[in-house]
Chain A
Protein backbone atom coordinates (compact mmCIF):
# COMPACT_ATOMS: atom_id res chain seq x y z
CA UNK A 1 0.00 0.00 0.00
CA UNK A 2 1.29 3.45 -0.93
CA UNK A 3 2.07 5.72 2.03
CA UNK A 4 2.98 9.38 2.43
CA UNK A 5 4.23 10.92 5.68
CA UNK A 6 4.81 14.65 6.01
CA UNK A 7 6.80 16.36 8.73
CA UNK A 8 6.67 18.44 10.76
CA UNK A 9 2.90 18.66 11.21
CA UNK A 10 3.17 22.43 11.72
CA UNK A 11 5.98 24.93 11.25
CA UNK A 12 6.22 28.53 12.39
CA UNK A 13 8.85 30.72 10.81
CA UNK A 14 9.90 34.31 11.07
CA UNK A 15 9.76 36.24 7.81
CA UNK A 16 13.03 35.63 5.97
CA UNK A 17 13.86 32.46 7.93
CA UNK A 18 14.46 29.71 5.36
CA UNK A 19 13.44 26.12 6.08
CA UNK A 20 12.42 22.81 4.52
CA UNK A 21 9.30 20.68 4.60
CA UNK A 22 9.71 16.90 4.37
CA UNK A 23 7.64 14.30 2.53
CA UNK A 24 8.61 10.65 3.00
CA UNK A 25 6.95 8.09 0.78
CA UNK A 26 6.70 4.40 0.01
CA UNK A 27 5.27 3.34 -3.31
CA UNK A 28 5.61 0.24 -5.45
CA UNK A 29 6.88 2.27 -8.36
CA UNK A 30 6.80 6.06 -8.58
CA UNK A 31 5.10 7.64 -11.53
CA UNK A 32 5.08 11.13 -10.02
CA UNK A 33 5.29 13.08 -6.76
CA UNK A 34 3.17 16.20 -6.44
CA UNK A 35 3.26 19.25 -4.20
CA UNK A 36 0.18 21.35 -3.58
CA UNK A 37 -0.54 24.47 -1.56
CA UNK A 38 -3.89 24.83 0.20
CA UNK A 39 -5.22 28.03 1.75
CA UNK A 40 -7.96 27.84 4.40
CA UNK A 41 -11.38 27.17 2.91
CA UNK A 42 -9.99 26.62 -0.60
CA UNK A 43 -9.04 23.70 -2.78
CA UNK A 44 -5.42 22.59 -3.21
CA UNK A 45 -3.41 24.57 -5.75
CA UNK A 46 -0.94 22.59 -7.85
CA UNK A 47 2.72 23.59 -7.41
CA UNK A 48 5.11 20.94 -8.78
CA UNK A 49 5.42 17.47 -10.25
CA UNK A 50 8.65 15.50 -9.78
CA UNK A 51 9.20 12.31 -11.74
CA UNK A 52 12.59 10.85 -10.80
CA UNK A 53 15.27 10.98 -8.11
CA UNK A 54 17.60 13.93 -8.48
CA UNK A 55 15.01 16.13 -10.13
CA UNK A 56 14.51 19.68 -8.84
CA UNK A 57 11.92 22.34 -9.66
CA UNK A 58 11.65 25.97 -8.58
CA UNK A 59 8.94 28.57 -8.40
CA UNK A 60 9.62 31.93 -6.78
CA UNK A 61 10.74 31.18 -3.18
CA UNK A 62 9.93 27.46 -3.43
CA UNK A 63 12.21 24.66 -4.56
CA UNK A 64 11.17 21.00 -4.61
CA UNK A 65 13.65 18.13 -4.67
CA UNK A 66 13.24 14.37 -4.91
CA UNK A 67 15.16 11.29 -3.76
CA UNK A 68 14.12 7.64 -3.90
CA UNK A 69 12.53 7.85 -0.45
CA UNK A 70 11.59 11.47 0.16
CA UNK A 71 10.96 14.91 -1.21
CA UNK A 72 11.76 18.28 0.27
CA UNK A 73 10.06 21.59 -0.28
CA UNK A 74 12.61 24.28 0.49
CA UNK A 75 11.30 27.75 1.27
CA UNK A 76 13.84 30.53 0.89
CA UNK A 77 13.28 33.83 2.73
CA UNK A 78 9.56 33.16 3.24
CA UNK A 79 6.98 35.93 3.42
CA UNK A 80 3.69 35.99 5.37
CA UNK A 81 1.80 35.26 2.13
CA UNK A 82 3.55 31.87 2.00
CA UNK A 83 1.49 30.82 5.03
CA UNK A 84 -0.66 27.85 3.98
CA UNK A 85 -0.89 24.10 4.25
CA UNK A 86 1.45 22.25 1.90
CA UNK A 87 0.33 18.83 0.68
CA UNK A 88 2.46 16.09 -0.82
CA UNK A 89 1.01 13.25 -2.92
CA UNK A 90 2.37 10.29 -4.87
CA UNK A 91 1.09 8.43 -7.88
CA UNK A 92 2.19 4.86 -8.44
CA UNK A 93 3.19 3.33 -11.73
CA UNK A 94 0.17 1.40 -12.84
CA UNK A 95 -1.29 0.19 -16.05
CA UNK A 96 -4.84 0.90 -17.10
CA UNK A 97 -7.07 3.77 -16.13
CA UNK A 98 -6.25 4.19 -12.44
CA UNK A 99 -4.64 7.52 -11.72
CA UNK A 100 -5.08 7.57 -7.94
CA UNK A 101 -3.09 10.03 -5.83
CA UNK A 102 -2.15 9.14 -2.25
CA UNK A 103 -1.88 12.25 -0.08
CA UNK A 104 -0.09 13.05 3.16
CA UNK A 105 -1.80 14.94 5.98
CA UNK A 106 -0.09 18.18 5.07
CA UNK A 107 2.22 20.65 6.80
CA UNK A 108 0.73 23.89 8.08
CA UNK A 109 3.22 26.72 7.62
CA UNK A 110 2.85 30.04 9.42
CA UNK A 111 5.20 32.90 8.59
CA UNK A 112 5.27 35.78 11.06
CA UNK A 113 6.06 39.30 9.82
Chain B
Protein backbone atom coordinates (compact mmCIF):
# COMPACT_ATOMS: atom_id res chain seq x y z
CA UNK B 1 0.00 0.00 0.00
CA UNK B 2 1.21 3.49 -0.79
CA UNK B 3 0.03 6.99 0.07
CA UNK B 4 -3.11 7.42 2.16
CA UNK B 5 -5.74 4.71 2.25
CA UNK B 6 -9.28 4.88 3.61
CA UNK B 7 -11.85 2.20 4.39
CA UNK B 8 -14.62 1.69 3.71
CA UNK B 9 -14.97 3.60 0.44
CA UNK B 10 -18.76 3.69 0.72
CA UNK B 11 -20.95 3.50 3.80
CA UNK B 12 -24.71 3.64 4.27
CA UNK B 13 -25.91 3.87 7.84
CA UNK B 14 -29.08 4.57 9.72
CA UNK B 15 -29.39 7.39 12.20
CA UNK B 16 -29.14 5.02 15.16
CA UNK B 17 -26.14 3.03 13.93
CA UNK B 18 -22.54 3.22 15.12
CA UNK B 19 -19.77 2.87 12.58
CA UNK B 20 -16.10 3.81 12.19
CA UNK B 21 -14.04 5.15 9.33
CA UNK B 22 -10.41 4.13 9.08
CA UNK B 23 -7.45 5.96 7.58
CA UNK B 24 -3.85 4.79 7.21
CA UNK B 25 -0.92 6.74 5.82
CA UNK B 26 2.25 5.10 4.46
CA UNK B 27 4.21 8.35 3.95
CA UNK B 28 6.00 8.65 7.29
CA UNK B 29 4.11 11.83 8.15
CA UNK B 30 3.41 13.09 11.64
CA UNK B 31 0.19 15.04 11.12
CA UNK B 32 -3.21 13.65 10.14
CA UNK B 33 -6.52 15.35 9.38
CA UNK B 34 -10.21 14.67 8.87
CA UNK B 35 -12.16 16.81 6.38
CA UNK B 36 -15.79 16.85 5.34
CA UNK B 37 -16.64 17.63 1.71
CA UNK B 38 -20.24 18.48 0.84
CA UNK B 39 -21.55 19.45 -2.59
CA UNK B 40 -20.95 23.10 -3.55
CA UNK B 41 -19.01 23.78 -0.34
CA UNK B 42 -15.30 24.13 0.40
CA UNK B 43 -13.57 21.32 2.25
CA UNK B 44 -14.30 21.72 5.96
CA UNK B 45 -11.53 20.83 8.38
CA UNK B 46 -12.86 18.71 11.24
CA UNK B 47 -9.89 17.51 13.30
CA UNK B 48 -6.11 17.79 13.31
CA UNK B 49 -3.67 15.43 15.01
CA UNK B 50 0.03 16.18 15.35
CA UNK B 51 2.23 13.41 16.73
CA UNK B 52 -0.93 11.58 17.90
CA UNK B 53 -2.18 14.59 19.88
CA UNK B 54 -5.36 16.37 18.84
CA UNK B 55 -4.49 19.99 18.16
CA UNK B 56 -7.70 21.20 16.55
CA UNK B 57 -11.38 20.43 16.81
CA UNK B 58 -13.19 22.72 14.43
CA UNK B 59 -16.46 22.91 16.41
CA UNK B 60 -17.46 19.44 15.29
CA UNK B 61 -20.58 17.87 16.90
CA UNK B 62 -19.87 15.20 19.48
CA UNK B 63 -21.52 12.53 17.32
CA UNK B 64 -18.17 12.53 15.50
CA UNK B 65 -15.38 11.14 17.66
CA UNK B 66 -11.81 10.90 16.33
CA UNK B 67 -9.10 8.53 17.51
CA UNK B 68 -5.41 8.52 16.62
CA UNK B 69 -3.57 5.54 18.16
CA UNK B 70 -0.31 6.31 16.34
CA UNK B 71 1.05 8.62 13.64
CA UNK B 72 0.03 6.22 10.86
CA UNK B 73 -3.58 5.51 11.78
CA UNK B 74 -6.63 7.70 12.24
CA UNK B 75 -10.21 6.73 12.95
CA UNK B 76 -13.49 8.61 12.91
CA UNK B 77 -16.17 7.01 15.08
CA UNK B 78 -19.72 7.84 14.09
CA UNK B 79 -22.91 7.55 16.13
CA UNK B 80 -26.41 8.98 16.03
CA UNK B 81 -25.74 10.81 12.78
CA UNK B 82 -28.16 13.09 10.96
CA UNK B 83 -29.04 13.06 7.24
CA UNK B 84 -27.13 16.33 6.79
CA UNK B 85 -23.96 14.45 7.78
CA UNK B 86 -24.06 12.66 4.43
CA UNK B 87 -20.90 13.72 2.61
CA UNK B 88 -17.47 12.62 1.41
CA UNK B 89 -15.13 12.25 4.40
CA UNK B 90 -11.49 12.74 3.52
CA UNK B 91 -8.42 11.87 5.50
CA UNK B 92 -5.11 13.62 4.85
CA UNK B 93 -1.58 13.57 6.19
CA UNK B 94 1.38 15.92 6.04
CA UNK B 95 4.96 16.24 7.25
CA UNK B 96 5.39 18.45 10.28
CA UNK B 97 8.95 19.60 10.02
CA UNK B 98 8.86 21.82 6.92
CA UNK B 99 8.04 25.43 6.15
CA UNK B 100 4.75 24.76 4.38
CA UNK B 101 2.81 21.60 4.81
CA UNK B 102 1.15 20.28 1.68
CA UNK B 103 -1.38 17.69 2.65
CA UNK B 104 -1.84 14.38 0.89
CA UNK B 105 -5.37 13.04 0.72
CA UNK B 106 -6.90 9.60 0.70
CA UNK B 107 -9.69 8.60 -1.71
CA UNK B 108 -12.41 9.36 0.84
CA UNK B 109 -15.39 7.54 2.30
CA UNK B 110 -18.74 8.38 0.75
CA UNK B 111 -21.16 8.37 3.69
CA UNK B 112 -24.92 8.27 3.30
CA UNK B 113 -27.11 8.63 6.40
CA UNK B 114 -30.66 7.35 5.97
Contact = CB atoms under 8 A, between A and B. Distances in A.
Contacts of B53: 97
Interface residues of A, number: 26
A95 interface: no
A102 B107 CA distance: 19
B90 A44 contact: yes
A101 B31 CA distance: 13
B1 interface: no
Given A97-B55, A100-B45, A101-B45, A42 B108 contact: yes
A42 B9 CA distance: 10
B50 A97 contact: yes
Contacts of B31: 99
Contacts, number: 68
Interface residues of B, number: 28
A44 B107 CA distance: 8
Interface stretch (B12-20, B36-44, B59-67): B36-44
A51 B35 CA distance: 23
Given A99-B96, A101-B45, A46 B103 contact: yes
A63 interface: no
Given A49-B100, A98-B48, A87 B106 contact: no
Interface of A: 4, 31-32, 34, 36, 41-46, 49, 51, 87, 89, 91, 97-106
